Amino acid sequence: MHILHIVGARPNFMKAAPVMRALGTWDGVRQTLVHTGQHYDANMSDVFFHDLEIPEPDVNLGVGSGSHAQQTAQILSQLEPVLLEYRPDLVLVYGDVNSTVAAALVCAKLLIPVGHVEAGLRSFDRTMPEEINRLVTDQLADLLFTPSADGDENLLREGVAADKIHFVGNVMIDSLVRLRTRSEKSIVLAELKLVPGTYGLVTLHRPSNVDNPETLAAIMAALYEVSRELPIIFPLHPRTRQRLEAANNHDPGSRVQMLDPLSYVDFLALQRLAKLVITDSGGIQEETTYLGVPCLTVRENTERPVTVSIGTNVLVGQDVKRLRTEVGRIMAGDQKRGRVPPLWDGHAAERIAHAIMARSWERRA
Ligand code: UD1
Cα(88)–Cα(131) distance, rounded to whole angstroms? 27
In ligand 1, the atom with minimum distance to the C-alpha of 11 is 6
Domain boundaries, the chain: 2-169+345-357, 181-331
In ligand 1, the atom with minimum distance to the C-alpha of 44 is 23
pLDDT in tens, 202-222: 999 999 999 999 999 999 999
98 lines ligand 1 (CB under 6 A): yes
Q: Which of 5, 35, 166, 205 is catalytic?
A: 205
Common-topology check for domains 2-169+345-357 and 181-331: yes
43 lines ligand 1 (CB under 6 A): no
235 lines ligand 1 (CB under 6 A): no
Ligand 1 centroid distance, CA of 208 (Å): 13
Mean pLDDT of the chain: 97
Are residues 324 and 232 in contact, defined by beta-carbon separation less than 8 angstroms? no
Please list the ranges in the chain whose pLDDT falls under 50.
none
pLDDT at 365: 55
Which residue's C-alpha comes closest to atom 17 of ligand 1? 238
CB atoms inside a 10 Å sphere around CB 357: 17
Architecture per CATH, 181-331: 3-Layer(aba) Sandwich (3.40)
Which residue's C-alpha comes closest to atom 35 of ligand 1? 65
58-86 residues labelled b (16+ CB within 10 A) or e (exposed): ebebebeeeeeeebbebbbebbeebbeeb
Cα(112)–Cα(107) distance, rounded to whole angstroms? 5
Ligand 1 centroid distance, CA of 39 (Å): 6
Q: Which CATH number fits domain 2-169+345-357: 1.10.1670.10, 3.40.50.300, 3.30.200.20, 3.40.50.2000?
A: 3.40.50.2000
Classify the C-alpha dihedral 51-52-58-64 as positive or negative: negative
243 lines ligand 1 (CB under 6 A): no
11 lines ligand 1 (CB under 6 A): yes
Ligand 1 centroid distance, CA of 272 (Å): 25
44 lines ligand 1 (CB under 6 A): yes
E strands, the chain, in order? 2-7, 30-35, 59-60, 90-94, 114-117, 143-146, 165-167, 200-203, 232-235, 256-259, 276-279, 295-297, 313-315
Based on the residue annotation, tell me whether 205 is a catalytic residue of this protein: yes
Ligand 1 centroid distance, CA of 42 (Å): 13
CA–CA–CA angle 313, 300, 231 (5° rounding): 55
Mutation test of ligand 1: which of 98, 132, 206 has the most ligand atoms closer than 8 Å to its C-beta?
98
285 DSSP 8-state letter: H
Radius of gyration for the chain, computed over Cα atoms and rounded to the nearest angstrom:
20
224 lines ligand 1 (CB under 6 A): no
